[in-house]
């Protein structure tokens, strides 16, 4: 397929919004190289997410060249900095909230920028959709370890996070077996259980608790008791941070004075651990992986996907496909409307093939609606742990 050709030389900008994520630097690198190699364009980086547009004198925006991207492919984080504290449409200053979104097109006009590539998750792309409505020429690149953005089969960062979580589960197996304990491992994902599901299967978990399948503590105990009866004196429970009891709500921890955005998901592993210990008398330990899942070097798969997204974003700019997000569909890079990508959160299908495969392996989801009952009955009939 021939390379798309730009009509005239351009300057474009790239911004990394939201939290850090393995693969961000691979996107930046791909955007700079593709823009220069294929089109002879200049690339500018917006520092610290949307906050870069609020810095006086456009000092939050600067040229990126080959020296800036040298050696960054395997690096975690983002050389541009990231921030999920800035909502351009509601900036709080001295007790007042103002809409500062006009700063984006104004800065672009001053610097001669013809397009803005926004790399981020749900929040960043919601802002991108609003900017597109204001006729700002934007192209989105999906990133999130949670894998919950619609429109794309997978987001970069997810593979790395699953790898980190799986390694943790592998390591906890030996401690659990040695001490005859139950280990509860809390993983990220917010309201989507993709990391818990994939790392639980890959790590050989006995129970996986997902936001999409509210759990019953008694059913967790049933699975653990079944293992004990068959001589398996330890169990591994992987818990998504957004998991909740049937009829209950997710567990949140209070935000501190330095974290004014909102209360944050977290702490459900401790709750589950207490529930198990009280019902069984077995020693239980909770481990919260936290931000270790989104730090460090990206996996090879994430480096490749992020690179493909970066190349695709520049080509989308060249073709004038604004208001769209690059996406992986059917193994190919394409684009989808940003508005449709953020219209619905992409969550685990409780009746999907991955959940079904996990159940076939004997993994319990402790479903409060009794969805695991036929499975347990079948296991008991066959005398398997």
User: Do residues 241 and 97 share a domain?
Assistant: no
- Residue 265 pairs in a beta bridge with 252
Joined together, the tokens standing for residue 96 give 């007042």
Q: How many domains does the chain have?
A: 2
**Any domain includes 1:** no
Rounded Cα distance between 164 and 160, Å, is: 6
**Any domain includes 2:** no
Percent of the chain at pLDDT > 70 equals 91
Rounded Cα distance between 13 and 369, Å, is: 49
Q: How far is CA 319 from CA 20, 131, 196, 322, in A?
A: 29, 19, 38, 9
Rounded Cα distance between 299 and 301, Å, is: 5
User: Do residues 126 and 202 share a domain?
Assistant: no
Instruction: Give the structural domain span for 359.
Output: 161-294+349-381
**Any domain includes 96:** yes
User: Do residues 252 and 361 share a domain?
Assistant: yes
Determine whether 146 is an active site residue.
Answer: yes
- The pLDDT score that the predictor gives to residue 95 is 78
Rounded Cα distance between 295 and 362, Å, is: 32
How large is the greatest C-alpha to C-alpha distance in the chain, in angstroms? 73
- The pLDDT score that the predictor gives to residue 52 is 92
| Sequence-separated (6 or more) residues with CB below 8 Å from residue 19 | 82, 84, 121, 294
User: Do residues 139 and 175 share a domain?
Assistant: no
User: Do residues 270 and 223 share a domain?
Assistant: yes
User: Do residues 251 and 374 share a domain?
Assistant: yes
User: Do residues 356 and 230 share a domain?
Assistant: yes
User: Do residues 213 and 307 share a domain?
Assistant: no
- C-beta separation of 141 from 313 below 8 A: yes
**Any domain includes 5:** no
User: Do residues 125 and 189 share a domain?
Assistant: no
> Mean pLDDT over all residues of the chain?
90
Rounded Cα distance between 166 and 324, Å, is: 33
* Tens-digit pLDDT profile for residues 233-274: 889 999 999 999 988 888 887 765 555 455 678 889 899 999
**Any domain includes 324:** yes
**Any domain includes 319:** yes
- The pLDDT score that the predictor gives to residue 375 is 46
Rounded Cα distance between 257 and 260, Å, is: 6
User: Do residues 247 and 371 share a domain?
Assistant: yes
- Helix/strand/coil (H/E/C) assignment for every residue in the chain: CCCCCCCCCCEEEEEECCCCCCCHHHHHHHHHHHHHHHHCCEEEEECCHHHHHHCHHHCCEEEECHHHHCCCCCCCCCCCCCCCCCCCCCEEECCEEECCCCHHHHHHHHHCEEEEEEEECHHHHHHHHHHHHCCCCEEEEEECCCCCCCCCCCCECHHHHHHHHHHHHHHHHHHHHHHCCEEEEEECCCCCCHHHHHHHHHCCCCEEEECCECECHHHHHHHHHHHHHCCCCCEEEEEECCCCECCCCCCEECCCCCCCCCCEECCHHHHHHHHHHHHHCCCEEEEECHHHHHCCCCCHHHHHHHHHHHHHHHHHHHCCCCCEEEEEECCEEEEEEHHHHCCCCCCCCCCCHHHHHHHHCCCECCECCCCCHHHHHHHHHCCCC
CATH number of the domain that residue 65 is part of: 3.40.50.450
User: Do residues 334 and 368 share a domain?
Assistant: no
pTM higher than 0.75: yes
User: Do residues 229 and 354 share a domain?
Assistant: yes
Rounded Cα distance between 200 and 303, Å, is: 23
- C-beta separation of 328 from 154 below 8 A: yes
CATH number of the domain that residue 183 is part of: 3.40.50.460
| Sequence-separated (6 or more) residues with CB below 8 Å from residue 207 | 220, 223, 224, 235, 236, 237, 238, 363, 364, 365, 366
- C-beta separation of 366 from 216 below 8 A: yes
Rounded Cα distance between 51 and 87, Å, is: 9
CA 252 to chain centre: 18
**Any domain includes 28:** yes
* Residue from 50, 102, 27, 8 nearest 312 by CA: 27
Q: Which of 20, 146, 302, 372 is catalytic?
A: 146
Ranges of the chain with pLDDT below 70: 1-9, 84-85, 255-263, 372-385
**Any domain includes 215:** yes
């Amino acid at each position: 397929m021939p390379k798309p050709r730009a009509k005239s030389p351009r300057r474009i900008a790239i911004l990394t919004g939201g939290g850090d994520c393995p693969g961000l630097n691979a996107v930046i690198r791909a955007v700079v190289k593709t823009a220069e190699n294929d089109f002879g364009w200049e690339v500018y980086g917006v520092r610290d997410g949307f906050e870069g547009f609020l810095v006086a004198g456009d000092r939050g925006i600067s040229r990126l060249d080959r020296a800036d991207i040298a050696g960054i492919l395997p690096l975690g984080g983002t050389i541009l900095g990231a921030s999920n504290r800035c909502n351009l449409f509601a900036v709080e200053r001295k007790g007042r909230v103002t809409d500062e979104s006009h700063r984006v097109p104004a800065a672009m006009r001053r610097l001669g920028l013809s397009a803005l590539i926004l790399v981020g998750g749900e929040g960043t792309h919601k802002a991108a959709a609003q900017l597109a409505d204001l006729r700002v020429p934007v192209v989105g690149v999906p990133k999130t370890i949670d894998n919950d953005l619609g429109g794309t089969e997978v987001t970069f960062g997810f593979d790395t996070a699953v790898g980190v979580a799986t390694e943790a589960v592998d390591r906890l197996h030996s401690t659990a077996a040695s001490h005859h304990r139950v280990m509860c491992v809390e993983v990220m994902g917010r309201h989507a259980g993709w990391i818990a599901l994939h790392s639980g299967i890959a790590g050989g978990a006995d129970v996986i608790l997902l936001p999409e399948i509210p759990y019953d503590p008694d059913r967790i105990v049933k699975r653990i008791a079944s293992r004990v009866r068959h001589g398996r004196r330890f169990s591994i429970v992987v818990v998504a941070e957004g998991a909740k009891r049937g009829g209950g709500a997710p567990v949140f921890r209070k935000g501190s004075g330095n974290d004014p955005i909102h209360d944050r998901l977290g702490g459900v592993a401790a709750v589950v651990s207490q529930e198990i210990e009280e019902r069984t008398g077995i020693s239980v330990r909770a481990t919260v992986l936290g931000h270790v899942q989104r730090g460090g070097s990206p996996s090879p798969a994430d480096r490749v996907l992020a690179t493909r997204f970066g190349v695709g974003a520049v080509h989308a700019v060249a073709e004038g496909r604004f208001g769209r997000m690059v996406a992986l569909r059917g193994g190919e890079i394409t684009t989808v409307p940003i508005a449709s990508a953020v219209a619905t959160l992409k969550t685990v299908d409780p009746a999907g093939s991955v959940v079904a495969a996990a159940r076939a392996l004997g993994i319990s989801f402790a479903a409060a609606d009794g969805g695991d009952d036929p499975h347990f009955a079948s296991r008991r009939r066959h005398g398997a742990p």
